[in-house]
Structure 1
Amino acid sequence: MMKYLQKLGKALMLPVAVLPICGILMGLGYAFAPGVMGVPGAATSGAAYTVGFLLVKAGGALIDNMAWLFAIGAAVGLADDHDGTAGLAGLVSFLMMQQLLNPAVVGAVRTLEEGTATYIAFQKVAGNSFIGILAAVVGATCYNKFKNTQMPDWLAFFSGKRFVAIATGLISIAVSVVLLFVWPLIFGALVALGEAIANMDGIGAGIYAFLNRLLIPTGLHHALNNVFWFDTIGLGDLSHFWAGETSADVGWSLGMYMSGFFPCMMFGIAGAALAMVRTAKNKKAAIGLVLSAAICAFVCGVTEPFEFGFMFLCFPLYVVYSALYGIFTVITYYSGFRAGFCFSAGATDLVFSASLPAAAKTWMIIPLGIAAFLVFYFVFYFAITKFDLKTPGREDEDAEEAEKKVTLANNNYTEVASGVLKAIGGKANVSSVDYCATRLRFTIKDYTQVDEKAVKAAGAAGVIRPDKNTCQVIIGTKVQFVYDELKKML
């Protein structure tokens, strides 16, 4: 399972890579036009507002549609040969599930009253990132399994890759039926949990923050957000805060369910990002992803580029990351720091919420932020180095940077591919093959058939065997050309 999660994490790198710039555009847009965010008294017209509005919409075009990016991009990444047909299959699955789980459609087949927990459950699941990732898994799995399907002569037109979309649609219907009954139960259980911890003051706020981050990969954090941020059970921390009320108007310390996110998102992520860069084998790759993601989180609190960049690559570290949110939320609660957000806990929202009546001790973002930066940095640095965790810049591909200097002994790619194939046991011993920056990656049936001396004699630089079912042949930067010839032979 962990191996598959890491593969999914790598597949998500392509769609995740486009998100940081979108988050930065949105942060700049909100700075120009706070009225777009709903800040009381902010201008809703003029040149600055127009520029800000356009920047927000430009960034939101992708941030608000991450599910589409995940469904297509991750499906291609998960496909054995990265064929675009898998992306189409992912899109088919996403559109199918999005439609079938839409409250309007669900209401036609089962009782569904607007405003109820069940209604909100389907309102949140249709089209969220979880459905996008699930669709990618379904689409890629169908592609890998059915891409070579042979149909009878009278149905031959639907053979091979054309059958993939058909199979994907049918399986997506089955998955949607399961979610139709399972999703509201899980969502309802989380709402009940939210109600239970709502009376636990600072400790409850910390538990909520921990679960909020932990559940992001599944999209189920919306269940808790509806309890604590909006007026589902009589709380509505966010709505009351921005309505200009104070703690005297409500039954809790207003802002307590938002304030703890500010030091973590603005400074904690920067500390974690620095730890990832410091421990990276390929620092350029790490800087390219996590630095822009950290800026994005600081400016406007868009954390998905950072979180999706490592949550599947290294889920245990993501659990630690979520726990740090919980700890700092408890600390923030007792420190008296109070701030709120309309969009997310970035510098933009902090500045504009500081003038609201419920805001308190906003200057404490400095000591709290410094503490968050240091704690996140040292915890991440220790965990990554102690347990050799595969964060961005520490994956196998990043370790292969040194292999880019490898010179292929024979530039006859057909001959090299033929020799390598024979050396690893022939076509019958290969379950699947893929490639990365410098290596051919084989999934094999019998590891005893691999002849390392013969592999080197074929022109490759060496062999790496992570386990009994995989074999990696080091080719160098010309690996794609050898792979292309190899695929023809297979």
Structure 2
Amino acid sequence: MMQKIQRFGGAMFTPVLLFAFAGIMIGVGTLFTTEAIMGSLASTESLWYQCWNIILQGGWTVFNQLPLIFVVGLPIGLAKKQQARCCMEALVLYLTFQYFLSTILSQWGTTFGVDFAAEAGGTSGLTMVANIKTLDMGMIGALMISGIVIFLHNRYFDTELPEWMGTFSGSSFVVIVGFFALLPVAFLSASLWPMVQSGMRAFQGFITGAGAMGVWIFIFMERILIPFGLHHLLYFPFFYDSAVVNGGVFSTWATQLPELAASTESLKTLAPYAWPTLTGLSKIFGCPGIALAFYFTAKDSKKKKIAGLLVPITLTAIFCGVTEPIEFTFLFIAPVLFVVHAVLAATLATVAYMFGVVGAMSGGLIEISALNFIPLMAAHWPTYLTLLVVGLVFTGIYFVVFRFLILKFNFATPGREEDEEITFHNKADFKEKQAAPKGSLAFMILDALGGKDNIVDVTNCATRLRVNVKDESLVKTDSYFKGIGTHGIKATKTNIQVIVGLKVPSVREEFEGFL
């Protein structure tokens, strides 16, 4: 079950990888179309505004069509065969489901406690999907329907029909089965989802009322779940769905940017919902403190090599918001340090929140700048100055705490291990391996996993190649994987996560080619 949950979480990252660029375009477009920042240049009648507004509206594509994108994105990671056809089947059946649901509610809405005559949006519980007025099930509904279609696709796509019925085979057969399977699902959704919406509104009130304690618990859980690959499942409903605000934190924040830029009132007052995305603060301020602790506790003979390792992975965390490379350098050597990291990350976000810091800050410095600093610095510079001070203080706290624990318990963090070859190989060694026959990184990973006959399935998230194997005893050690150019592995019996980095999509593609 854990493997299936991890695989599901990894598959959701296929569409999520689009969010960073979309967020940047929204941030830049909002900056140049906000009259409070650009003055008369950004008046709606000006050519400047009209040109930038085109870019801004294009940037909204991903967030405006989020359910559709998840519907077609999930099969890419979870369909076992003919992923492209499964994407088409998922889209067709998702729209079919919406027509079912829309018709049910238009005819019997009052029976299910739904006022279908109300305008879509707001607190009505209704929305528009592909010009279909329907129940607002958000990303959860999209993932549910896509998951059902993937199950049907994997089970029925290869069903052999009599020759005279051949036109109904393959995708057509999956859609036929799905058509009838989704009818009861539509009735159940009409019956149960309004109650779920009421529960969500109650949860919003609870978590908002929890204040700083709610912030600390959420950020701590998000960090501590990273080793298990389950953190996506925690934050998705908050970031992109309606767990704390209708439409999700990112979409609501981006929509509200012009209002935020035009006001000098506290961001915490203007956007009290925007605290779950403070997960990015530890990436910008915590990871440098960890890296400095590693460097200053390393053996003198290894400091130069340690710097070569730490600089790129620390910059990746700061600017791109991808922390696995640096976190996995110490996670398995000293798990207690990761728990401390989660505690400090939660405390950093909570302290910043108590000082009035909120915003779309889950990514790295590039994304955070586009959605926060660039469009809002003029009106809210005191808040961001406060964030800088708090952040730098915590960089120092991270450094002091990690350095103390490393020296106190003699943790074999990078640069302190006895066997240099366990963690480090020089560039010449790596190039030599790359130059070997079939010596690509993907092939070396495949070989280290026991060869293609040992592979059950493969998917990926932002930085990890997630593989299920038949026999875990055939998988090489963590140090071996580091030696061939990865950042190591996280192994849970037959579920293996290879920490590759941001190039993992291309590595997966080549890996599947070898399979």
1:217 to 224, 230, 236: 236
Letter in 1 for 2:372: G
Letter in 2 for 1:331: V
TM-score (norm 2): 0.55
2:380 to 332, 335, 354: 354
Partners of 1:478 and 1:221 lie apart in 2 by 30
1:123 aligns with 2:127: yes
The superposition leaves residues 234-274 of structure 1 with CA deviations (integer Å, 9 ceiling, x where unpaired) of xxx99998896979xxxxx8347257568x26644445787
What are the equivalent positions in structure 2 for 1:148-159 lying under 5 Å apart? 148-159=158-169
- CA RMSD for the aligned pairs? 6.3
Equivalent pairs counted in the alignment come to 400
* Cα displacement (A) at 1:367: 1.4
Give the structure, 1 or 2, with the largest relative contact order (CA under 8 Å, sep 6 or more): 2
Contact 2:285 2:394 in 1 (8 A): yes
* Cα displacement (A) at 1:469: 7.2
Partners of 2:280 and 2:92 lie apart in 1 by 37
* Cα displacement (A) at 1:75: 0.4
Contact 2:27 2:375 in 1 (8 A): no
Letter in 1 for 2:386: M
**Change over 3 Å in CA distance of 1:90–1:326 after alignment to 2:** farther
* Cα displacement (A) at 1:26: 1.6
Partners of 1:447 and 1:267 lie apart in 2 by 36
Partners of 2:394 and 2:282 lie apart in 1 by 5
* Cα displacement (A) at 1:149: 0.9
**Change over 3 Å in CA distance of 1:100–1:353 after alignment to 2:** farther
Partners of 2:512 and 2:198 lie apart in 1 by 49
Partners of 2:158 and 2:181 lie apart in 1 by 18
Identity of aligned residues (%): 17
* Cα displacement (A) at 1:208: 8.6
In structure 1, the gaps of 5 or more residues are 230-236, 248-252, 295-304, 387-400, 410-419, 425-429, 451-463
What are the equivalent positions in structure 2 for 1:145-184 lying under 5 Å apart? 145-184=155-194
Three-state SS of the structure 1 residue aligned to 2:437 is coil
In structure 2, the gaps of 5 or more residues are 129-134, 223-231, 250-255, 295-308, 332-337, 361-367, 406-410, 412-429, 440-449, 475-488, 498-505
Letter in 1 for 2:385: W
Three-state SS of the structure 1 residue aligned to 2:244 is helix
**Change over 3 Å in CA distance of 1:292–1:208 after alignment to 2:** closer
Partners of 1:84 and 1:443 lie apart in 2 by 24
Three-state SS of the structure 2 residue aligned to 1:123 is strand
* Cα displacement (A) at 1:485: 10
1:254 to 233, 245, 269: 269
**Change over 3 Å in CA distance of 1:241–1:100 after alignment to 2:** farther
Partners of 2:150 and 2:290 lie apart in 1 by 30
Matched residue, 1:407: 437
Matched residue, 2:385: 363
Partners of 1:221 and 1:205 lie apart in 2 by 18
Matched residue, 1:106: 105
* Cα displacement (A) at 1:185: 1.9
**Change over 3 Å in CA distance of 1:338–1:404 after alignment to 2:** closer
Contact 2:90 2:150 in 1 (8 A): yes
Letter in 1 for 2:53: F
* Cα displacement (A) at 1:442: 7.9
* Cα displacement (A) at 1:371: 5.1
Matched residue, 2:229: none
Matched residue, 1:30: 30
Matched residue, 2:77: 77
